[in-house]
Structure 1
Amino acid sequence: MRSMWAGAIAFGLVNVPVKLYAAASSHDVPLHQVHDADGGRIRYQRRCEVCGEVVAYEHIDRAYEADGKRVVLTEEELEALPAEAAHEIQVLQFVPSEQIDPLTLGAAYYLEPDKKAAKPYLLLRSTLEQTARTAVVKYALRQRTRLGVLRVRGDLMVLQSLLWADEVREPEFAGKAPTAAVTEAEQAMANLLVAQLSEDFDPAAYVDDYQVQLKELVEARLAADEGVIVAGPAPSSTAEEGGEVIDLMAALRASLERKRGGADKGAADAGGANKVV
């Protein structure tokens, strides 16, 4: 596996250098569009609608349009934003794991600790496991600031993206709260059916039949010398090495003291605000 990102988990004042690996990959057979008359590959061009020229990718900026106005943002401006440059997974809070709605979960990534960060990594992993908590985090990936969660999977921690609150749509359609009378006999029969089909989940027991048959079709055509396989160059790794890890106990103690200090200051501020002069 190739790491796709290198940074650190910011856990109070503890810094845990990690590398990010995609936890899933598509098994779909890649298909291209071709001309049915001669088999020529169909390719898309980035053509400017003003001058009509085909534009190279390095000359393409991004823009936002609203009310007939267009704001053009250059790559330099976007890369200068703090979130774009950050390589930090910032822990915001720890919440009960059951409070994370599965609907909001997205892409998952394995987190591998730097060799120097094994102990704080294991401490955070075991803490999540023993407290039955999930860490809510903020991080930047692929030019976007993202919300996510850290959770335990086996011996590793997994970073999983989380939808922002305003990205979750409410069900605005007729029948979203169906009403019907279910008889006791119908419910009992449905419960019996569920009981008969109940067993431990084994993901390996399920196969994507369509992709299996598609691969067999492609292989048969290749065996008949009716196709060509062209292998592209392997992508290069852009992972960066992690930095030094500060003293673990000192960082944990300082984090707790800073948290207590913030709470005391908040109480003092509140007292001052309520004081009658």
Structure 2
Amino acid sequence: MKAIWSGVIQFGLVAVPIRLYAATQEHPVRLHEIHVVDGSRVEHRCFCRAENREVPSDQVGRGFALADGRVVPLGEEDLAHLPLLTKRTVDVLGFVPFEDIDPISFARPYYAGPGPGADRAYALLVEALARTGYVAVCEVAVRSRERLALLRPRHGMLVLQTLLWQDELRDPGDLAPSTPVTDRELELAEVLIRDLAGINVRDVHDDYAHALEQLVDAKITGGQLIEPVEPAPVLDLMAALEKSVRAAERTHGRSSA
């Protein structure tokens, strides 16, 4: 893999050189934009408002808009001189138990591999985090944006998980229901959860691409699609729970007694 960032982890007086690598790779099924009248592909072009003409991509840059409407151009060299410690340093702010981090704030994961001469200090940090069950809360600037992040051990190496800032998390408001549940309903729900416990996520696959192929084939051949039956709203919660528990027991060969 190609490193996308290099720098050091700084905690106390210890500095550990690292390199960051993308830890995930999505495989989206992309649909092309078309002109619905004739089916031809639609292109997005770069257009300059002031000159009223299309401009080549090598003349497109970035700028910061001021309150008075002016735009200050900022090139890659300008951004490289941002006065941020975290441009080349994963600045460890402290350590907390992993369970104290709400997964809703997780953004993007990166593998943090050891840099030159860092093997011993790197291995020490991995093992210390694994033994204590703590993760390092830190700040780092990746792809020109400073982020809160955490460092955690995984399979003998470090993963740097960027986090959303608190003001990027939306308040759900009054979305949570206020209807109380009965003790019997809760008991049956717990039985159903235990009966359905244990699933290997590696065995679960993305069916979107296959469904899209079926849709395209039906459009070409004029065939009919068999659409899956959507679950009906639950009208009798107790009856649905009891039926679900019996079905889970038959499937998994367990008893709720």
Bucket of the pairwise TM-score, normalised by the shorter protein: 0.7 to 0.9
CA distance in structure 2 between the partners assigned to 1:207 and 1:72 by the alignment: 47
Aligned counterpart, 2:97:
96
CA distance in structure 1 between the partners assigned to 2:16 and 2:128 by the alignment: 14
Aligned counterpart, 2:250:
none
Task: Number of aligned residue pairs: give it.
Answer: 217
Shift of 1:14: 2.1
Shift of 1:64: 2.2
> Any idea what the Cα deviations from partners look like across 1:120-170, whole Å, max 9, x if unmatched?
000011111111111011111111111100001111110000111221222
Aligned counterpart, 2:237:
none
Aligned counterpart, 2:201:
203
> Any idea what the Cα deviations from partners look like across 1:179-231, whole Å, max 9, x if unmatched?
213122222221222122112x4111211111244468889xxxxxxxxxxxx
Aligned counterpart, 1:246:
none
Percent identity between the two aligned chains:
39
Whether the 8 Å contact between 1:79 and 1:85 is mirrored in structure 2 is no
Shift of 1:63: 2.5
SS at match of 2:6: strand
Q: Where do 5+ consecutive residues of structure 2 fail to align?
A: 218-257
Aligned counterpart, 2:166:
165
SS at match of 1:188: helix
Shift of 1:111: 1.1
**Change in CA separation of 1:59 and 1:185 when aligned onto 2, cut-off 3 Å:** closer
Letter in 1 for 2:99: E
SS at match of 1:19: strand
Shift of 1:40: 4.2
CA distance in structure 2 between the partners assigned to 1:22 and 1:218 by the alignment: 33
SS at match of 1:82: coil
Alignment of 1:62-77 (within 5 A): 62-66=63-67, 69-75=69-75, 76-77=77-78
Q: TM-score, normalised by structure 1?
A: 0.69
Whether the 8 Å contact between 1:149 and 1:162 is mirrored in structure 2 is yes
Alignment of 1:42-53 (within 5 A): 42-53=42-53
Whether the 8 Å contact between 1:84 and 1:145 is mirrored in structure 2 is no
Aligned counterpart, 1:7:
7
Shift of 1:102: 0.7
CA distance in structure 2 between the partners assigned to 1:36 and 1:59 by the alignment: 29
CA distance in structure 2 between the partners assigned to 1:120 and 1:140 by the alignment: 22
Letter in 2 for 1:3: A
**Change in CA separation of 1:124 and 1:130 when aligned onto 2, cut-off 3 Å:** same
Aligned Cα root-mean-square deviation (Å): 2.7
CA distance in structure 2 between the partners assigned to 1:8 and 1:56 by the alignment: 38
